[in-house]
Every structure is written in C-alpha cells, then in structure tokens.
Chain A
Amino acid sequence: MFIRKRRSVPELNTASLPDLIFTVLFFFIIVTHMRQDEVKVRYRVPEGRQLTKMKKKAGVTHVYIGKPVDGRQEGYRIQVDSKVVAIDQLVDYLAESRSGMSPDEAQEMTVALSADKDVDMKTVMEVKQALRRANALKVTFIGTRINKSTSAPTKK
C-alpha cells in the first residue's frame, strides 16, 4: 500500500528553445544592418588594389561626397555622418563629431572618406583642407577591391 511506483522526473521540453534563439539571431542580423547612416548622396567608390581594412569602428566619422539622391540639382554634396553640410560648415560639424567622442577616441579620430569616382579634385582638396583645419588628420579613402583578374601583377 505504501510502496509507490518509482516516479521519473519529467523531462523539460526544449523544443521551442531553438526558435527563441533563432529569433535573437534574426534580430541581431537586422540590427547590424540598420546601424549604418542613411546616405543622402549617391556615390560609387573607386577601385583599388592594395586596400587595408579599417581597424576600429569607434572614433570613425564618415564623410560622403556624391550627387544628391533626391533632387535634380547639379554638383556634389558633402555629408558628415547623417547630415548633409555645406563645405564651409564642414569644420564645425567635424568638431561637433569629435566632441561627442571619448578622449581616447578623439585622439584616434579617423575620417572615412567615401567619395564618388567622378568628384573633381577641387572639392576633394577643399574637404581635405577642412579636415586639416578640424585637426582630423587620419583619413581613409574608401574604395572597393578591384577584380584580381584585371589587376596587374604586384611586385613582391
């Protein structure tokens, strides 16, 4: 009467766990794509052969030069992070961008310059002057890797 059948511990149903984790996975995939600035200028970066990867994500200010996406206006626009700015305001915006950084980041402040292939050098040089004035001296000219087949053999 007092001897009962041995009870077994019921197993936890883990069937829905993968679904949960997949949801997290998709969330991260979507979020990492959304992190980038909304680019308001149209540009195609030039192709290069020996490009180095940008090491850090922190302390990077993005500067874009390209044709405006919406309007039919001529000429090139400059965008700092997510704002389109006039050339003479560029220094101020760079300073503002720097002030939002931690001291360590401000020291290592790097500007990622994504400019359209067809931008004239006058504009680029003006931007460079502004960078120098804003004391943002580390610049990376963004480009894409050229096709291996079309590039000349590099000397060892």
Chain B
Amino acid sequence: MNFRRGKREVPGLNTTSTADISFILLVFFLVISSMDSTKGVFKQLPPEDKAKAEEVTEMDRRNVMDISIWGEGDVRVDGKPVDVRRLQGMVEKFVAGCPDRATHVVSIKMLPTSKYDDYFHVQDAVSSAYTSIRNSAAMGIYHKQYAECEQYERKKIDKLYPQRVMENLNEESGQDAADKE
C-alpha cells in the first residue's frame, strides 16, 4: 500500500462572480439614488395676464367654499374653525354637492402673517380632495385610476371636475384673483 501521497495544494477560491455581485450592487445604488426624488404638492399657477382686468363677479353663496387661514393652525371654513385633517373630506363633499360644478370656487383667503405651514396643509387637503374626486370619476367612467388614464381621458375628467381654486391675500385685494386650472 502506498501511504505517500502527492503534495496537496490548497485550491484557490474562485472569485470570478464577486465582480458580478458588486456590479449588481452598483447598479442597485445608482437606481436608488436617482429615485429618492423630492416629494411635494404640485400646483399649476395661472399665467399672468396684465391685459385682463380683474373681474368681480357675484357668486352664488352655495357655490363658494370659503376657507380662511388666520393665525397659526387656525383654519376656518365659512367662518367656523375646523381641523385641517378633516378639510379634505369637506372639500370633497362641497365639490360633489355644489349646485353648479362648472363655476364652483374654492376660495382660500389668508393674512400676510399667516404661516406657510397652514397654507401647505390647506393646499395638501384641497389637491388631495380633487385627486380623490377625479380618481373616483375615472374609476366610474374608465375603470382605472386617474393617473393611468390617457391624455384625452384625463381632459374629459378635468372638464367634468374642474379644479377651481382661488387664492387671496387679505388686505391686498385682487392680488391673486383667479387661480384656476
């Protein structure tokens, strides 16, 4: 019997695939770092129109939702203080129940000293409300979410449910009169 064996060599670890794994990591991080985009509330401002004079029109009281921002955290709807978290539901209810949807107005009034925080919450609530309304409309007509609709489908829904928000800084009258989409 032969007990003497050949000199054994330690086999080297096959590290060829480590590069692939690192590449996958690299690509993953590249994708992730471009995805951490900032979030916010989108708003389309009305174009500045110097030629057009500000028109003061009498509105039906039932067709206007009057949101005013007073002091810090003091948001009132038609004069009554409300919790900002309930505002979205109120706007939805108002838009659904207003007599003439084509001319309804959500009017946001604020003082020059009002805080941006409150304004942001109101904006958030109002735009969430319109998103929700349009989503349910899109679901009813096209059986899909508003965001998934085609351009012409969105236009149709926008026409059915126009977003009519007016913003006014108190005191300085007619500063930002017709702020409609």
Interface of A toward B, CB cutoff 8 Å: 14-15, 17-18, 21-22, 24-25, 28-29, 32-33, 46, 48-55, 57, 65, 112-122, 124-125, 128-129, 131-133, 135-145, 151-152, 154-155
Contacts and interface: CB of A to CB of B under 8 A. Distances in A.
B19 A17 contact: yes
Contact of A121 (B30, B33, B44, B115): B115
B41 interface: yes
Given A112-B40, A122-B169, A137-B46, 19 more contacts: A14-B16, A21-B22, A29-B33, A51-B124, A52-B39, A54-B38, A57-B34, A116-B116, A118-B116, A118-B117, A120-B115, A121-B116, A132-B47, A137-B47, A139-B43, A139-B44, A140-B42, A141-B40, A143-B40
B170 to A, nearest CB: 9
A24 B115 CA distance: 45
Contact of B113 (A15, A54, A120): A120
Nearest to B28: A25
Contacts of B123: 141
Contact of A138 (B18, B44, B111, B112): B44
A16 B88 CA distance: 58
Contact of B41 (A28, A48, A116, A121): A48
A87 to B, nearest CB: 14
B144 interface: no
Interface in B128-152: 128, 131-132
A155 B132 contact: yes
Contacts of A155: 88-89, 92, 132
A128 B176 contact: yes
A137 B117 CA distance: 21
- For B29, B39, B132, the residue with the greatest tally of chain A CB atoms inside 10 Å of its CB is B39
Contact of A145 (B39, B48, B169): B39
Contact of B116 (A32, A49, A115, A137): A115
B47 A139 contact: no
B44 A137 contact: yes
Contacts of A24: 26
B147 to A, nearest CB: 9
A66 B97 CA distance: 40
9 contacts: A25-B29, A28-B30, A48-B124, A112-B40, A120-B112, A120-B116, A128-B45, A137-B46, A139-B45
A15 B12 CA distance: 10
Interface string B68-106: 010000000000000101101100100000000000000
A142 B38 contact: yes
Contact of B26 (A25, A54, A141): A25
B33 A125 contact: no
B69 A121 contact: yes
B85 A144 contact: no
Contacts of B37: 53-55, 57
